[in-house]
Structure 1
Amino acid sequence: MSSPARGVAADLSHISTKAKVTGYLPADDGLKAAFTGADVIVIPAGIPRKPGMTHNDLDLFNINAGIIRDLIIGIALYAPSAFILVISNPVNSTVPIAAEVLKKHGVFDPKKLFGVTTLDVVRSETFTASVVGKSDPSVFKVPVIGGHSGDTIVPLLSLSEPKVELSDSDRAALVHRIQFGGDEVVQAKEGKGSATLSMAHAGFHFAGIVENTFVYLSGVPGGGAVKDIVAGLDYFSVPIELGCPSGAVKAMNILPQVSEYENGLLEVAYTGLAANIKKGVDFIVGAPEAK
């Protein structure tokens, strides 16, 4: 482990909770030591976006795809029954990469693989509260479906609880800000990183009974009904009922409830998602196995 990483592990280990924090070196079977016996594995690893870089940037994909592939191989070998939460961008592609690696090793359980898209939900609550002049964003619940990049992110403002009344221009501006909110952080950090603290909150938030998450639809109960609507896409983010020990208990099909405007957003999202998913699958299928 590099000195900064060792320092982070030591720093976290001083927090007064029941959690025990340890760090492992890549050498000496560090990956095996870290994964063996794990019930939940959260993967935020990879390079962050830089100004002007989209979630689909080739450099971002090529580096992070390789990192995800190698980590998932480790999970397949040492923690095949663990819940896997993928944060590393581009989620629309890294989750299919993870699935294909797990398939190759014969340990793929679609009910335990999740792309964490909760940050889009967090942003939708925060930005909606700002637009309507409410001081407490936590009172809003806004489903966000689709994927986790740009116009594949589809906030369902028509299903917001409590209901919000927006002009057409305010709605369009709010949707755009939710879809591209990550760019604000990337630009503000001036090339020194992307969303980390808000993402940490979103990752912590991913513990509810129902969460929006990017899953392999055919492997989740109820996912087939969603797949029939979303142009046959294999992966899609919808509200998922979670439970132990199985993981994804049910995909909640809220698509018949969306507005005409949101159906238009979805048509755009389907095209982008199809390309993102194929990119991830192609990275593994037919590729030589990493050593």
Structure 2
Amino acid sequence: MVKAVVLGAAGGIGQPLALLLKSSPLVDELGLYDIVNTPGVAADLSHIATPAKVEGYLPPDDGLKKTLTGADVVVIPAGVPRKPGMTRDDLFKINAGIVRDLATGIATAAPKAFVLVISNPVNSTVPIVAEVLKKHGVFDPKRLFGVTTLDVVRASTFVSEILGDLSLATKVTVPVVGGHSGVTIVPLLSQSSHPLPSSFSEDQRQALTTRIQFGGDEVVKAKDGAGSATLSMAYAGAEFAIKVIRALKGETGITAPSYVHLTADKASGDALKKEIGKDLEYFSAPIVIGAEGVVEIKPLGTLTDFEKSLIQAALPELETNIEKGVSFIGSSKL
């Protein structure tokens, strides 16, 4: 029996994410929580002819605790979306408190659950969750994941567009490492499963890299103030969550990208730190997922000079983002 929980289930990401999880035969129970509308979302989803039993709760009467009790996998898309002109720093100030409070609920009601963080800015919100769990004495780095799958989904889509065949989108794999915002997103295009054309210029490579890094801005602008990347994020979040659930059920050899604490597997984490030349606590890389969580953090492999320069540009920003999350909890009253 697998119970999946979505915290922020009535929002722009939460609703389609909950729909995708309800559609999966791997989910036996689906718990939904938000500050508004959750019972209605749960009632709507419960009419879908798939096995998962759905329950939705609001904050009153220990709603968060009821939602989390018995959870195996908790996905957190809660928070406000980014709007035109809003920086990720603006976003942090609002979403940090939301994530902190939800993490406190997880620490007390579902301390053994796998926690998948979507709430932006991921580079900072994952450390927030970790610090809360540490304060409650239940932090297990193997069970905490920052969901960076959307960067890989975008890279796969954009490369297939360049290759002139969107049917390749589900087959193209491009490792994306670093973090999950702007310059911290580093697509390793040289390692694409489907190489770019030999005629692809360095200027085109730079333009494609920038598009992958700032794909979220493209959506925010196109929605003209009405929201950010919700549907594609829900798709990516569900894709990652299903991989985690498959691993939880005993499937082996599952590899997926994620922003993780580098002690999740100390040997491979230390090796990665040497590769990037920086003693960071968190980094996004392809990881192997097993029944206990992170099994291995994969090395970056052979990089081009351009990709090495992207990694070096990402490191100072990542360090700042991580410290911001840690400091927020250090100055918070839990």
Tell me which interval the TM-score lies in, with the shorter structure as reference length. Answer: over 0.9
* Match of residue 224 from structure 1: 270
Structure 2: 5+ residue stretches without partners: 1-33, 244-253
Give the equivalent residue in structure 2 for 1:274: 319
- Report the counterpart of residue 19 of structure 2 in structure 1: none
| Residue 218 of structure 1: how far off its partner (Å) | 1.9
CA distance in 2, matches of 1:162, 1:181: 21
Q: Which residue of 1 aligns with 2:51?
A: 18
1:7, CA displacement in angstroms? 2.3
8 Å contact 1:218–1:227 — kept in the other structure?
no
CA distance in 1, matches of 2:216, 2:193: 24
Q: Secondary structure at the match of 1:139?
A: coil
* Match status 1:236 vs 2:283: yes
Measured after TM superposition, the shift of residue 6 of structure 1 is 2.9
Looking at structure 2, the residues matched to 139 and 112 of structure 1 have their Cα atoms a distance apart, in angstroms, of 28
Q: What is the CA distance between 1:115 and its match in structure 2?
A: 0.2
Which amino acid in structure 2 is aligned with residue 135 of structure 1? L
Given that residues 38 and 58 in structure 2 are in contact (C-alpha distance below 8 angstroms), is that contact kept between their aligned partners in structure 1? no
Q: Which of the residues 293, 310, 318 maps onto 1:265? A: 310
2:28 equivalent in structure 1: none
In structure 1, the residue matched to 2:333 is 289
Q: Which amino acid aligns with 1:38?
A: A
Alignment of 1:243-254 (within 5 A): 243-244=290-291, 246-254=292-300
CA distance in 1, matches of 2:36, 2:290: 38
1:176 aligns to what?
Answer: 210
The answer as to whether partners of 2:38 and 2:57 remain within 8 angstroms in 1 is no
* Superposed displacement of residue 187, structure 1: 1.2
Q: CA deviation at 1:258?
A: 1.3
Structure 1: 5+ residue stretches without partners:
none
- In the TM superposition, what is the alpha-carbon distance from 1:205 to its structure 2 partner? 1.3
In the alignment, the residues of structure 2 paired with residue 50 and residue 288 of structure 1 have an alpha-carbon distance, to the nearest angstrom, of 26
Asked if 1:188 corresponds to 2:222, the answer is yes
Q: Alignment partner for residue 71 of structure 1, among 83, 102, 105?
A: 102
Matching of residue 8 in structure 1 with residue 41 in structure 2: yes
Q: Find the residue that maps to 2:165 and give its secondary structure.
A: coil
Q: Alignment RMSD, CA only?
A: 1.3
What is the rounded CA distance, in whole Å, between the counterparts of 1:120 and 1:83 in structure 2? Answer: 21
| CA 280–14 in structure 1, closer or farther in 2 if over 3 Å, else same | same
Q: How far 1:131 sits from its partner (Å)?
A: 1.7
2:102 alignment partner, SS class: helix
Q: Which amino acid aligns with 1:237?
A: S
Secondary structure of the structure 1 residue equivalent to 2:100: helix
The Cα of 1:21 is off from its aligned counterpart by 1.2
In structure 1, how many angstroms separate the alpha carbons of the residues matched to 2:100 and 2:37? 24
Q: Give the Cα–Cα distance (whole angstroms) in 2 for the partners of residues 9 and 37 of structure 1.
A: 18
Q: C-alpha deviations, 1:51-75, integer Å up to 9, x for none?
A: 1223x223x1111000000000000
Identity of aligned residues (%): 59
Please tell me whether the aligned partners of residues 128 and 328 of structure 2 are also in contact (alpha carbons under 8 angstroms): yes
- Residue aligned with 1:191, SS: coil
Structure 2: which amino acid aligns with 1:280?
Answer: G
Q: Is the 8 A contact 1:115 1:215 kept in 2?
A: yes
Matched, 1:140 2:187: no
Once the two structures are overlaid, the 10-residue window that deviates more, 216-225 or 30-39, is 216-225
Amino acid at match of 2:281: D
Aligned residues: 285
**1:7-30 CA-partner distances (Å, limit 9, x unpaired):** 222211111111111111201010
In 1, the alpha carbon distance for the partners of 2:332 and 2:184 equals: 30
Measured in 2, the distance between the counterparts of 1:135 and 1:34 equals 39
AA aligned to 2:49 is S
Asked if 1:30 corresponds to 2:75, the answer is no
SS at match of 1:23: strand
Which secondary structure does the structure 1 equivalent of 2:54 belong to?
Answer: coil
TM-score after normalising by structure 1: 0.95
> What letter is aligned with 1:143?
P
Residue identity in the other structure for 1:186: V
Give me the whole-angstrom Cα distance separating, in 2, the residues matched to 1:90 and 1:188.
Answer: 20
TM-score by length of 2: 0.83
AA of the residue aligned to 2:333: E
Aligned-residue offset at 1:192: 1.8
Counterpart position of 1:95: 126
Any idea what SS the aligned residue of 2:186 has?
A: strand
Amino acid at match of 1:39: D
Q: Quick one: distance in 1 between partners of 2:271 and 2:35? A: 47
In structure 2, give the amino acid aligned to 1:70: D
